[in-house]
Structure 1
Amino acid sequence: MRLQQLIYFEKIIEKGSINEAAKALYLTQPSLSNALKELESEMKVQLLVRNKQGIIPTSEGREFLIYCRQILDQVNLLEEKFKNEPLRKQNFSVSAQHYAFVVHAFVELLRTVNADEYKFTLRETETENIFDDLASFKSELGILYLNSFNQQVLTKLFKEKGLEFTPLFEAKPHVFVSRSNPLVAKKSLKLADLEDYPYLSYEQGETNSFYFSEEILSTWDRKKNIKVSDRATIFNLMVGLNGYTISSGIISSELNDDKIVAIPLEYNDVITLGWIKQQQLELSPVAQKYLELLEEHIRGYGFDIIV
């Protein structure tokens, strides 16, 4: 396997077409096709398939691409340091439950990128999709929480899917409400205080398992329930309907315009927020930088990082 083959493979994935990749690489299409066949033959695996939309990677191809990019990133760092070569196009993807601190760190990461071209993806998604994204190598990192209710089930899933969980910090449950909600007059809240208010939670698709819920107390019976699919909607409903949800207590005023507040919930539970990745993969430099920024942002809200 040669370095040039990895460059060719990444370009084909980027363009979604052997013909377009050949043009970008100043090669003939037959030459690029032969190089790809040689790589697949040497690796003893089919990396790409053709369909009506063009070229797409197989599941093995997506996994191979992760390793490929790690190698090319390291080569690029060497060239940048010793040959003053410009940075190559950077790629990074993270899948997460709906947390403002995840978005904030992602914004900060993009501000540090010193490149004319990059392809970054942030997927705020259902919990099951996080597992699928990591298993299919669509994302390098996943962000979610564990607590006493879901820990046994999710830990079993981590093992089955070859994932490892690294805790970031622990938080006590907080109720998120708008500043105009009558509940803000209280310094802390009991479950009984919430009975007459609409409960807002994130839908979890067809599986809809209580263990995949992004909110604790997912089995608690409530009179008023509203399911949403994104953070913007959940915050709008907090303001418009005096709704509430339960989360970690971290709110980014920079992203949420100071309209939402977090009030401690008097309930004996601990939320452990953390990140997951494929066990066999080493984190890329971009992923490591993202985690550094994530930890920095979390510390800024007064939480201790678990070491």
Structure 2
Amino acid sequence: MNTLFFKYAIEVEQTRSITKAAENLYMAQPNLSKAIRELEETLGFPIFVRSSKGVIPTDQGREFLKYAHSIMLELDKMSKISEMSDGAVQSFRISIPRGSYIAHGFTEFAAQLDPGKRVMLNVVETNSMQTIQHVLDGQSDLGIIRYQVAFEPYFMDYLREKQLAFEPIWEFAYLLLLSKEHPLADRPQISAEDLEHYTEIVHGDLQVPYLTEAHRSGYGDGRNIHSKIYLYERANQFELLNRIPSTFMWVSPVPDTLLNRYALIQRACRAERNLHKDLLIYPQGYQFRPIDRQFIDQLFAAKNEVAFKTYD
């Protein structure tokens, strides 16, 4: 039995969508559908059925997926034993949100590793639900999740349900990220209403445990933006902001090096439900290694670099 198919089934379980799972796995949807059918034929029972809530596991499928998670976790542990057989290896795996201060902290951490020793780093920028799944499956040792504070009860319940430990990193208000050439750049104060006629750049895969997109809309932030650009990675957001001065983003505070590189500014702006929180998550009982502590030190140094500034 091909254990790669286990990974495919776990992704479908998480996303409740063959199409979305195929996107996350970087494969064609028909190929994923065929792989799931082959797995079901091998097992002799259907793993999933379609419902009004999307693609959900059958009773037998749910039992199979429980074992699939365990098998993938054990395979990952075996892989880590192989990686660590050379005592000189510097191995670190983490999933993080698309936050610039976090990426900056990771870069500083990576730059301080010993170049004379073998390096095995794996960093994935993704949404909070994917990060939780990566930690559960053993794809990442640590994770950082970000959520709107209004959704905190849902995330706390979900983390406890999944038996994951967590520690707060910080709570902050999102800032506006704009080109220096944006029409609002020099305005003394910017309100949410001022943004209505400009184009917002949004990360398009945000999810909240237990809530559908329709339910999340009930927690609206009071913004009435008609034009949006949806992104699923962080890199070209800066190019877009620089090249299209009428665009803007809501972001966690950004380090000055990136602002200067792309001729951007960040401004405070009052808006409903604008508080967000970042948490470090990891399996219960996880023993932090020196390399983990090294990353955490750089993470908090990067956070402090942007947290103690005043934003107008």
TM-score tier by shorter-chain length is: 0.5 to 0.7
Choose which of 274, 291, 294 in structure 1 pairs with 2:296: 291
User: 2 CA distance for matches of 1:296 and 1:174?
Assistant: 20
Pair member with larger Rg: 1
Shift of 1:206: 9.1
The Cα offsets for residues 188-230 of structure 1, whole Å up to 9 and x where unpaired, read as 32110110111111121899955999xx956844211210111
In structure 1, the partner of 2:36 is none
Change (3 A) 1:128 1:212: farther
Task: Letter of the 2:126 partner, please give it.
Answer: T
User: 1 CA distance for matches of 2:261 and 2:196?
Assistant: 27
Change (3 A) 1:251 1:111: closer
Choose which of 255, 274, 284 in structure 2 pairs with 1:251: 255
Change (3 A) 1:98 1:174: same
Residues 96 and 125 in structure 1, CA contact (< 8 A), matched pair in contact too: yes
In structure 2, the partner of 1:198 is 199
Which structure 1 residue ranges, 4+ long, deviate > 6 Å from structure 2? 205-208
* 1:230 and 2:230 correspond: no
TM-score (norm 1): 0.66
User: 1 CA distance for matches of 2:283 and 2:248?
Assistant: 34
User: 2 CA distance for matches of 1:145 and 1:206?
Assistant: 10
Residues 150 and 212 in structure 1, CA contact (< 8 A), matched pair in contact too: no
In structure 1, the partner of 2:185 is 184
* 1:275 and 2:280 correspond: yes
In structure 2, the partner of 1:60 is 73
Shift of 1:270: 2.6
* 1:111 and 2:124 correspond: no
In structure 2, the partner of 1:263 is 267
* 1:90 and 2:90 correspond: yes
Q: How many residues align?
A: 234
User: 2 CA distance for matches of 1:185 and 1:131?
Assistant: 40
Residues 95 and 143 in structure 1, CA contact (< 8 A), matched pair in contact too: yes
User: 2 CA distance for matches of 1:148 and 1:185?
Assistant: 30
Structure 1, unmatched stretches of 5+, are 1-48, 50-56, 74-85
User: 1 CA distance for matches of 2:73 and 2:103?
Assistant: 29
Name the SS for the 1:159 alignment partner. Answer: helix
Instruction: Choose 91-100 or 153-162, whichever is displaced more.
Output: 153-162
Residues 102 and 302 in structure 2, CA contact (< 8 A), matched pair in contact too: no
